[in-house]
Amino acid sequence: MIKVGDKVKFLNDVGGGVVTGFVNKTTVNVEGDDGFEVPCLIKELVNISAPELNAGSTASVQQETPAEVQPEPEYIEPKGEIINGKNAAEFYFCFVPTDPKNPLSGEIELFLVNDSNYTVLFNYSYIKTDGVEAIKQGTVRSNSREKIDALVQEDFTDLPDFGFQLIYFRETESEWNLPMVKKFRVNPVKFYKESTFRANSYFRKNAFVLKITSDTFQTELDKLTQDDFKKVVKAKETAEAPKRKERKRNTEEVVIDLHITELLDEPEGLSNREMLDIQMETVESEMNLAIKNHAKRIVFIHGVGQGVLKQEVTNLLKRKFKKYYFQDASFKEYGYGATMVILRK
If asked whether residues 202 and 299 sit together in one domain, one would say no
The per-residue pLDDT for 173 is 79
Q: Please write the tens of the pLDDT for every residue from 138-187.
A: 999 999 999 999 999 889 888 999 999 999 999 887 788 899 999 999 98
Query: pTM of the predicted model, to two decimals?
Result: 0.46
Bin 5: left if φ > 0, else alpha if -120 < ψ < 50, else beta: left
CATH assignment at residue 16? 2.30.30
Say if residue 187 is in the same domain as residue 259: no
Does residue 18 lie in a domain region?
Answer: yes
Q: Kindly state the average pLDDT of the residues 252-271.
A: 84
Q: How far apart are CA 166 and CA 124, in angstroms?
A: 9
Alpha-helical segments (H) within the chain = 58-63, 216-222, 226-238, 260-263, 272-292, 308-320, 331-334
Bigger pLDDT: 240 vs 189: 189
Distance CA 185, CA 81 (A): 31
Residues 6+ apart with CB under 8 A from 152: 106, 107, 108
Q: What is the mean pLDDT of residues 319-323?
A: 92
Q: What is the pLDDT of residue 22?
A: 83
CATH number of residue 227's parent domain: 2.60.40.1600
150's CB contacts (< 8 A; 6+ apart) are 107, 108, 109, 110
Total structural domains in the chain?
3
Residue 241 within a domain? no
pLDDT in tens, 13-53: 878 888 888 888 888 888 887 777 888 888 888 888 766 55
79 located within any domain: no
Termini Cα distance of the chain: 74
Q: Is residue 80 part of a domain?
A: no
The residue among 167, 199, 232 that closes a domain is: 232
